[in-house]
Amino acid sequence: MYCDCKLIILMLQMGELAVDKHVKYILSVQKKRKDSFEAVVMEHLTMNGAYWGLTTLDLLGKLDVVDSEEITEWIIQCQHESGGFAGNIGHDPHILYTLSAVQVLALLDKLNVLDVDKVSNYIVGLQNEDGSFSGDMWGEVDTRFSYIALCCLSLLHRLDKINMEKAVNYILSCKNVDGGFGCIPGGESHAGQIFCCVGALAITGSLHLVDKDLLGWWLCERQVKSGGLNGRPEKLPDVCYSWWVLSSLIMIDRVHWINKEKLVKFILNCQDKDNGGISDRPDDAVDVFHTYFGVAGLSLLEYPGVKAIDPAYALPVDVVNRIFLGR
Amino acid sequence: MSKGDLISKGNGFDLLDQFEHILDSDPLIDEVGFIHPSQFVILNKEAESSKQQSKDEIWSSDNSLDHEDSNFWNRDHKLGISAHVLLPLYKAAKDAFMDSIRQYKIVENLPGASEDEMDSPRSSAMESEVMKHSKALLLLSCDFGTAWNSRKLILSKKRHMSLFSDELLFSGLVLSYSPKSEQAWCHRRWVIKMIAGQYSAVQEIVGKESDLVEKIAERSKMNYRAWNHRCWLVFYMTREQVLLELNKSRKWAGLHVADNSCFHYRAQLMLTILDLSWHKQEDETSDHDVEVYQIWKEELLWNEDLIKRYVGREALWLYRRFLSLYWTRHFATNVGDATHQSRHTSCVADDVNIFLDNELRLVNSCSTIPDNKFEDFHAQSIHAATYILWLTKQLPKSQEIELKKKLNAGSLLTMMNEACPERSPLWSNCLHGSI
């Protein structure tokens, strides 16, 4: 307890999180989507953007500023006849956007609009013989898709529809000698992939299969002098790993192996205090992706005034409780 | 009024026509870039000065040399697109693509649409529309997944080797200026899987593919998507190819000692030859074992050499963790203790204590920080100490106790707590854990 109080006092001394500015920034991004080339070339992943932006708003306690009916209607229009969701209206479905759609509906407490069996059948149909999951009908395999499938089915209470043992074994086959995980068996360890694999193992109750000291060692070596975390050895720190590394460390109970104060300071230094938003590194340009990961990282670090986020489902704890405990 | 304001939706389609015409008339374009309009003047000046020697055509908006009006620049198979036209051009390409794929799918899904009908002139005209517009769109927005998918849909019906080769060229072009495009890498894997299922040319393609990754990795440092692609290729390699790759990537790795991805790739190659020697046929001699043992030994020596030459490189020490761990598990025996000789222990083996003594000497030699206290030497001593602590934790109990004695782990941890206080919880875990 003493430690936590000390941390909170330190956080407040470090300077505030510019909550109102960040809310304003996220709302502005949502509006000016069509007037620049840089914005339109991202239109295929608008569904992910919606998840990043809306989760940030919810963590900051400001989800009520958006029109949830309008968003829900748009999400329904992104659903394909196969049951999967696309990143935007008229695009092809993919498991990446399907999870974001389910997560946003969960945030908005609108899961009831879904034909749950239709969505879950889409995901079930993507499991391969070896337990892995394809991202869509074209067959690319990646442990990210395993996480997405398991997370999505769990949120929809349909985990029993797949071969879980095979799914878990495939993830374990992607484990490296350094304790980390890659996209495929033999793929290089990457903090983002590690989050996916550890998250999937957490969701399926299989964390006992992870060598926590070995993985924890690799993860805590991601903290660099500035306090920020990188995603791989020899890389620069980046705010997005505040989420991926930190959530993994929490799930395997090794978060005390890094310096939390220095990480909080690093994230706060990446804020644009004038116009809102958070960037990858101090003084770089902000975007929604890094704003979400910065705020989510601060949430995991128990920053005062930010709602708690679940490290496996990547949704606010109250949303997860609503789904699994019926509030 | 700026030029951008004058471009209406109407001439968005003209721009697209012009763009697609260039793509069609120069199928060998190997470089694409978005350029500021002021760069046109410079490019055209350069072009004019060498105009006498070359008969290549210069494309501009009205097919003249009116430089002020240029939207595209195409010469020597290089294509420049003016940043001013990107937005209207993208919108036109997207609309044209979405229309063409919608119409194609309607015809394709017509009840009773037979194979013959899909081969009809009308259908193939629609296919070429989809291919043409998706190409234009993807050159502007390389991760537009729906456009890549539409190409897969058409290719999967045709299954012609020449079309698959074209597709490798096209995705290679996209990667030449967007080396991190996940969709382009993914598309290549799909094409290679299609080829592997039908043609025997896959070994040759794997070799070329590996060269492509190396070329891209040269310009795009530690590109995870590119190296992941190269690791994926290992599944398709023969033993000879794996050995060739080990040889080929060695020089590159030695010149890029901070590139962890390259060392991970080598680790994969090393594991693959080790794995192949375990699963060898009965009638094969133990020559492979000796060869793998030799390769591993050389790799350890080479890595040690790099560590001493390039001071303070994390990637080199991480690679050593891997090499040493496998060495102690598979090529070294603990004399007088047969209990942890694994099933896979090679028939060639060294005494593990000799190996660990050598590692201790290396760590000690890397832990002396010269008086000038360069940051690199400081980093080197931390990497060295972390390496030996990490290795100690991975060893079987008896070797661990032995190494701990020699290491004087207590004083090493005190040193680490001082040098790297952020990680003191990790160090104390080492102390109170199994060390």
Write the pLDDT tens digit of every residue in B115-152: 555 567 778 899 999 999 999 999 999 999 999 999 99
Could you tell me if A235 lies within 8 Å of chain B, comparing CB atoms? yes
Could you tell me if A326 lies within 8 Å of chain B, comparing CB atoms? no
Say how far apart CA B362 and CA B358 lie, in whole Å: 6
Is residue B430 over pLDDT 80?
no
- Give the position of tokens 């234009």: B136
Q: Which of B235, B264, B425 sits opposite A257 (nearest CB)?
A: B425
Model confidence at B220, pLDDT cuts 50, 70, 90, reads: very high
Mutation target among A43, A143, A177 for the B interface, most CBs of B within 10 A: A177
Model confidence at A122, pLDDT cuts 50, 70, 90, reads: very high
DSSP B78: E
The CA–CA distances, whole Å, from A59 to A261, B211, B315, B415 equal: 20, 46, 37, 41
Q: Which of residues 98-157 of A touch B (CB under 8 A)?
A: 136, 138-140
pLDDT of residue A279: 97
**Is residue A92 helix, strand or coil?**
coil
- Give the chain A residue nearest B141 (alpha carbons): A41
Q: Do B87 and A37 touch (CB under 8 A)?
A: yes
The answer to which of A70-74, A227-231, B217-221 has the lowest mean pLDDT is B217-221
DSSP A115: -
Q: Counting one residue from A and one from B, how many pairs have CB atoms under 8 Å apart?
A: 110
Say how far apart CA A141 and CA B10 lie, in whole Å: 42
Question: What's phi and psi for B81, nearest 5 deg?
Answer: -115, 130
DSSP A187: P
Polymer length in residues for chain A:
327
Could you tell me if A73 lies within 8 Å of chain B, comparing CB atoms? no
User: In sequence order, what are the residues at sequence separation of 6 or more whose Cβ sits closer than 8 angstroms to the Cβ of residue B103?
Assistant: B126, B129
Residues of A in contact with B90 (CB under 8 A): 37, 40-41
For residue A278, the one-letter residue type is I
- Give the chain B residue nearest A39 (alpha carbons): B87
pLDDT of residue B114: 58
Q: Looking at CA atoms only, how far is residue B371 from chain A in angstroms?
A: 22
Of the candidates B34, B44, B41, the residue with the CA atom closest to the CA atom of residue B80: B34
pLDDT of residue A33: 63
User: How is chain B split into domains, by residue range?
Assistant: 9-36+70-107+126-140, 287-335+344-434
- Give the position of tokens 């205090």: A273
User: What are residue A133's DSSP bridge partners?
Assistant: A127
Q: Which of residues 32-51 of A touch B (CB under 8 A)?
A: 36-37, 40-41, 44-45
pLDDT of residue A186: 96
- Give the chain A residue nearest B394 (alpha carbons): A214
- Give the chain A residue nearest B137 (alpha carbons): A41
DSSP A158: -
Task: Assess contact for A126 and A133: CB atoms under 8 A.
Answer: yes
Question: What is the signed CA dihedral for B150, B153, B159, B165, rounded to 10 degrees?
Answer: 30
Could you tell me if A211 lies within 8 Å of chain B, comparing CB atoms? no
> Over the stretch A146-186, which tens digit does the pLDDT of each residue have?
999 999 999 999 999 999 999 999 999 999 999 999 999 99
Mutation target among A33, A44, A181, A188 for the B interface, most CBs of B within 10 A: A188
> Over the stretch A243-297, which tens digit does the pLDDT of each residue have?
999 999 999 999 999 999 999 999 999 999 999 999 999 999 999 999 999 999 9
Question: What's phi and psi for A131, nearest 5 deg?
Answer: 95, -15
Q: Looking at CA atoms only, how far is residue B186 from chain A in angstroms?
A: 7
Question: Which tokens sit at B130?
Answer: 């989809």
User: What are residue A307's DSSP bridge partners?
Assistant: none
User: In sequence order, what are the residues at sequence separation of 6 or more whose Cβ sits closer than 8 angstroms to the Cβ of residue A163?
Assistant: A127, A131
Q: Looking at CA atoms only, how far is residue A89 from chain B in angstroms?
A: 11
Query: Of all helices (H) and strands (E), which one includes residue A268?
Result: helix A260-269
Q: Do B433 and A257 touch (CB under 8 A)?
A: no
Could you tell me if A9 lies within 8 Å of chain B, comparing CB atoms? no
Q: Looking at CA atoms only, how far is residue A182 from chain B in angstroms?
A: 9
Q: Do B322 and A41 touch (CB under 8 A)?
A: no
Is residue A61 over pLDDT 90?
yes
pLDDT of residue B432: 66
Q: Do A217 and B141 touch (CB under 8 A)?
A: no
Say how far apart CA B272 and CA B284 lie, in whole Å: 17
Is residue B62 over pLDDT 50?
no
Residues of A in contact with B227 (CB under 8 A): 188
pLDDT of residue B165: 93
Q: Looking at CA atoms only, how far is residue B9 from chain A in angstroms?
A: 13
Is residue A125 over pLDDT 80?
yes
Model confidence at B416, pLDDT cuts 50, 70, 90, reads: confident
Residues of A in contact with B245 (CB under 8 A): none
Long-range contacts of B240-243 (CB under 8 A, 24+ apart): B241/B203, B241/B206, B241/B207, B242/B269, B242/B272, B242/B273, B242/B276, B243/B273
Task: Assess contact for B37 and B82: CB atoms under 8 A.
Answer: yes
pLDDT of residue A194: 98
pLDDT of residue B122: 77
Say how far apart CA B231 and CA B263 lie, in whole Å: 11
Q: Do B228 and A183 touch (CB under 8 A)?
A: yes
Is residue B341 over pLDDT 70?
no
Q: Which of A37, A139, A233 sits opposite B260 (nearest CB)?
A: A233
**Is residue B113 helix, strand or coil?**
coil
Span B216-240, mean pLDDT? Answer: 95
Say how far apart CA A312 and CA A301 lie, in whole Å: 15
Mutation target among B100, B141, B223 for the A interface, most CBs of A within 10 A: B141
Q: Report strand pairing: B350-351 vs B78-82.
A: unpaired
Say how far apart CA B63 and CA B72 lie, in whole Å: 10
B367 vs B310, higher pLDDT: B310
Beta-carbon neighbour count of residue A321 at 10 Å?
13
pLDDT of residue B290: 86
DSSP assignment of B7-74 = --HHHHHHHHHHHHHHHHH-TT--EEEEE-HHHHHHHHHHHHHTTTT-------TTSS--GGG-SEEE
Q: Which of B144, B186, B426 sits opposite A217 (nearest CB)?
A: B426
Is residue A7 over pLDDT 70?
no
Residues of B in contact with A233 (CB under 8 A): 260, 314-315, 318
